[in-house]
A and B are shown apart, each in its own frame.
Chain A
Amino acid sequence: EVQLVESGGGLAHSGESLRLSCAASGFTITNEWMYWIRQAPGKGLEYVANINKDGSEKYYVDSVRGRFTIARDNAKNSLYLQMNSLRVEDTALYYCVTGGGRLWGQGTVVIVSS
C-alpha cells in the first residue's frame, strides 16, 4: 500500500525541541519533492517547508526559518523535520506530503505549551 506515516509529535514546552519523522512505503520518495504542511486548531493549511529530490534545496516559511530544519534520507525512504525553539503558535497537526500535494500522511499532532 502506498502511504506516508508520520511520527514524533507530542507535547513540548516553549523553547524545547521535537523531531518529526515520515516513513514512506509502497513507493520511493527519491523522485519526489517532499513537504511538511501544518494546520493549527481552527486555522487553515500552511506550508512549513519543502525539500528537493536530493536534499540540496530547502525552503521554509518565514515563521519557522532558522528554527526548523527539513531533511531527507532517500536510502531510508524517509523525511524529517527538526523543530527547535518551539513556540505556542507551532501547535498544529503536521502532515508529510509529496510534491504538489499528491499524497498525504495521516498527520502527527504537536502541542506546545507555555
Chain B
Amino acid sequence: DVVLTQSPLSLPVTLGQPASISCRSSQSLVHSNGHTYLNWFQRRPGQSPRRLIYEISNRDSGVPDRFSGSGSGTDFTLKISRVEAEDVGVYYCMQHSHWPHTFGQGTNLEIK
C-alpha cells in the first residue's frame, strides 16, 4: 500500500501568518494515465471532511485562494498564505492513483 506521511502532525499558527503542510508518498503518485491524484481535505471540528485541492493544485469551488497546493511525484505541499480562525481543523492528504487509496495521518492546525 502507498503510505502518505504528513508533517508536521501538529501546527500551531498565529492568525494572519502562513502555514505549510507536507505530504510525502512512499511511491510515485503519477497514474498510468499521466495524472497525479493527490488531494487535500480540511476537516473542521464536528464536520465531515471537505475537499480543498484535487490533482495536486486545483482548488475546489468555493475554496479561498489563500489555499494552494503544489508538488510532484512523491512530495506535495499544502500552503495557507494567511491563516484565519475558520481554518482550524485537521488537514489530510489523500491519494487515489493506486488502490487501495490512502490518506495521510492528518495535521491538526490550531491558532496560537
A residues at B contact (CB < 8 Å): 35, 44-47, 50, 59, 61-62, 95, 100-102, 104-107
Q: How many inter-chain residue pairs (CB < 8 Å) link A and B?
A: 44
Q: Are B102 and A100 in contact (CB under 8 A)?
A: no
A81 to B29, CA, bound (A): 28
A50 to B101, CA, bound (A): 10
Q: How far is the CB of B26 from chain A (nearest CB, A)?
A: 15
Q: Are A101 and B102 in contact (CB under 8 A)?
A: no
In the complex, B106 has a CB within 8 A of chain A: yes
- The 8 Å CB contact of A45, one of B49, B60, B99, is B49
Q: Are A101 and B39 in contact (CB under 8 A)?
A: yes
Q: How far is the CB of B13 from chain A (nearest CB, A)?
A: 21
- A–B pairs, 19, beta carbons within 8 Å: A44-B104, A44-B105, A44-B106, A45-B103, A45-B106, A47-B101, A47-B102, A59-B99, A62-B100, A95-B48, A100-B96, A101-B39, A101-B41, A101-B49, A101-B51, A101-B54, A101-B94, A104-B49, A104-B50
